Amino acid sequence: MRAFITGASSGIGRELAFQLAELNYDLILVARRYERLEEIKKQITNRDVIIIQSDLNDPDQLSALFKQLKSYEIDLFINNAGFGKVGDSIEIDTSQEIKMIELNIISLHALTKFAIQHMHKGKIVNISSLAAYLPTPKLASYAATKSYVTNYSMALDYELKKLKVPIKVLSVAPGPIKTEFGKVAGVNQKMKGMDVKKCVKKMIKGIENNKKVIVPGFKMKLLKFILHFIPRRWVLASAYKIQNKK
Ligand SMILES: NC(=O)c1ccc[n+]([C@@H]2O[C@H](COP(=O)([O-])OP(=O)(O)OC[C@H]3O[C@@H](n4cnc5c(N)ncnc54)[C@H](OP(=O)(O)O)[C@@H]3O)[C@@H](O)[C@H]2O)c1
């Protein structure tokens, strides 16, 4: 069994690499910081680990990655790389936002299309966010990118099922997790986040159980459920309050 993970140099992707290696997966790990991937490869001695430096924002590097991937049979294809920017949209640098949209949506879309056309069977797991379910002032464009990820994954999974293609498309919707996300987003995360090891353990359980949308942690599952019943203006006001504290 082989798993492919983007954004494996840090946070959720890095932890997925270690926990999947424990479950006997060989790995293909992708990120821009090659030295970090080398460190992970050094530590995982019992599995075949291929590391690829690629900036998924660069169409040429993405094409080169596709060429490399054609030589491998992949069972678990995880689109994890992504980032957010917190702040008032009027102030956030537009070029950073466009980069985020390109990474979180366009490269994830291209990778997912590659996977459905080249995998013979298996699972694609797209890392979304709980923010996908709520318009989030001060994290507006990031939350919107994750709505795309969740809705696209669900619809694609349904299409493949109808076509009897043996590939499942699952998505993961974590709440706050302790990773480098906050630093990249430009905030000091004051909110308590879930431990990344715990989060990934729950994610893997969800993947094994073929959960269409995996929400790690009871509190976040409850929040997702409650969101269906709360008026949007209240959701907007409390999301704004939470982001404003960061
Ligand atoms: N942490 C949270 O609270 C949280 C909550 C919900 C959802 N998520 C989602 O979880 C996923 C993983 O985030 P994380 O929390 O683990 O954050 P993280 O620690 O910042 O990790 C992000 C990963 O993405 C990679 N990456 C960023 N830009 C890239 C690019 N252009 N090309 C290739 N790789 C790139 C980074 O590697 P390099 O910099 O080495 O390229 C890094 O490995 C993201 O999709 C995020 O939106 C996070």
Q: Please give the chain's pLDDT, 246 residues, in tens.
A: 999 999 999 999 999 999 999 999 999 999 999 999 999 999 999 999 999 999 999 999 999 999 999 999 999 999 999 999 999 999 999 999 999 999 999 999 999 999 999 999 999 999 999 999 999 999 999 999 999 999 999 999 999 999 999 999 999 999 999 999 999 999 876 667 999 999 999 999 999 999 999 999 999 999 999 999 999 999 999 989 988 877
Q: What is the pLDDT of residue 191?
A: 63
Is residue 97 a contact partner of residue 197, using CB atoms and an 8 Å limit? no
pTM for this entry: 0.97
Can you tell me which atom of ligand 1 is nearest the CA of 128? 7
Instruction: Give the pLDDT confidence score for residue 189 in this predicted structure.
Output: 61
- How many domains are contained in the chain? 1
d(CA 13, CA 235): 30
- Separation of CA 82 and ligand 1 centre (Å): 4
Give the closest residue to 84 by CA, choosing from 107, 100, 105: 100
**pLDDT reported for residue 246:** 74
Cα 27 to ligand 1 centroid, rounded to whole Å: 18
User: What CATH number is attached to the domain comprising 54?
Assistant: 3.40.50.720
Distance CA 181, CA 229 (A): 29
Taking the CB of residue 94, how many other CB atoms lie within 10 A of it? 9
DSSP 8-state code for residue 130 = G
Active site residue 142: yes
pLDDT the model gives residue 244: 84
Choosing from 25, 133, 142, 148, which is the catalytic residue? 142
Q: Candidates 181, 184, 200: which one to mutate for ligand 1, based on the most atoms within 8 Å of Cβ?
A: 181
Q: Name the residue of 80, 189, 198 whose CB sits within 8 Å of the most ligand 1 atoms, as the mutation to test its pocket.
A: 80
Model pLDDT, residue 42: 98
Concatenating the DSSP letter of every residue in 15-76 gives: HHHHHHHHTT-EEEEEES-HHHHHHHHHH--SS-EEEEE--TT-HHHHHHHHHHHTTS--SE
- Over the range 110-144, which residues count as b (16 or more CB within 10 Å of their CB) and which as e? bbbebbbeebeebbbbbbbbbbbbbebbbbbbbbb
Query: What span, in angstroms and rounded, lies between the C-alpha atoms of 128 and 220?
Result: 14
What is the C-alpha separation between 13 and 40, in angstroms, rounded? 11
Nearest to 15 by CA among 34, 50, 43, 35: 43
d(CA 214, CA 196): 15
Is the minimum distance from the CB of 82 to ligand 1 under 6 angstroms? yes
The residue range of the domain holding 131 is 2-245
- Give the residue among 83, 137, 132, 135 at the shortest CA–CA distance from 107: 83
* Structure token digits, residue 69: 């991937």
What is the CB neighbour count within 10 angstroms for residue 152? 18
Q: Is the CB of 142 under 6 A from ligand 1?
A: no
